Amino acid sequence: MKLYDFAAFPNPARVRIALHEKGATEHTQFINVDVPGGEHQSDAFRAINPSATVPVLELDCGTHISECTAITEYIDNAFDGPSLTGSTAKQRAIVHMMQRRAEQYVMDAVGNYFHHATDGLGADIEQYQNAEWGNRQKSIAENGLQYFNDLLSKNKFVAGENFSMADITLFAGLGFAGFAKIDIPTEYTHLLDWQQRIAARPSVAALGG
């Protein structure tokens, strides 16, 4: 299978971590999409993903799957290893709930702030911006950091006792927040400790390689 992505970006990082966790990296061909250069907006790329976003997974049969959650679902079910999406009905529900909160409270809020209230990817890419709305999203992200710090004062991982795609999403979101200069307050020790533990996982450390 093939993964169309831009390695430096947070959403591609989510899928790369999942691939590594499931031992599927060696089964994947990585195809760079020049997002800063606008390649994702080309007619050729829109033909495989009308949303013009990365990553996109292309299966050997020619099927294209976009959206990180959907891609991770496929990887989790197609390859052996500990589940990233839950192995019981209750676990799956909790993982998906917390994965969505990690997106909504941190990943998406940071992204909206970055694309609307900063220079983002530059004028050629950021063709519409609403700074007031972007700064409102920054407040949502800051509240999200507090929420997850409180949660991780009680939980080992975001969705409970097991590492899951919710952890992957939150970790990538925190990396994006740091890039966008939204820092984790030093008093959020539970969140910072969790971030260090996740960063030490081989699947995450491999991103720097």
Tens digits of pLDDT across the chain (209 residues) = 999 999 989 999 999 999 999 999 999 999 999 998 989 999 999 999 999 999 999 999 999 999 999 999 999 999 999 999 999 999 999 999 999 999 999 999 999 999 899 887 787 777 788 999 999 999 999 999 999 999 999 999 999 999 999 999 999 999 999 999 999 999 999 999 999 999 999 999 999 75
Domain boundaries, the chain: 2-78, 89-201
Q: Is 56 helix (H, G, I), strand (E, B) or coil?
A: strand
Do the bridges between strand 2-5 and strand 29-32 make them parallel or antiparallel, or are there none, so unpaired? parallel
pLDDT of residue 79: 97
Q: Is the fold of 2-78 the same as that of 89-201?
A: no
Do you know the residue count of the chain? 209
Look up the CATH architecture of domain 2-78: 3-Layer(aba) Sandwich (3.40)
Quick one: pLDDT at residue 177?
Answer: 97
d(CA 120, CA 127): 10
Question: What's the maximum distance between 2 C-alpha atoms anywhere in the chain?
Answer: 49
Options 3.40.640.10, 1.20.1050.10, 1.20.5.440, 3.40.50.300; CATH of 89-201: 1.20.1050.10
Whether the pTM exceeds 0.75: the reply is yes
Other Cβ atoms within 10 Å of 153 Cβ, number: 13
- The whole-number pLDDT of residue 82 equals 94
Nearest to 148 by CA among 208, 116, 83, 103: 103
The pLDDT of residue 128 is 86
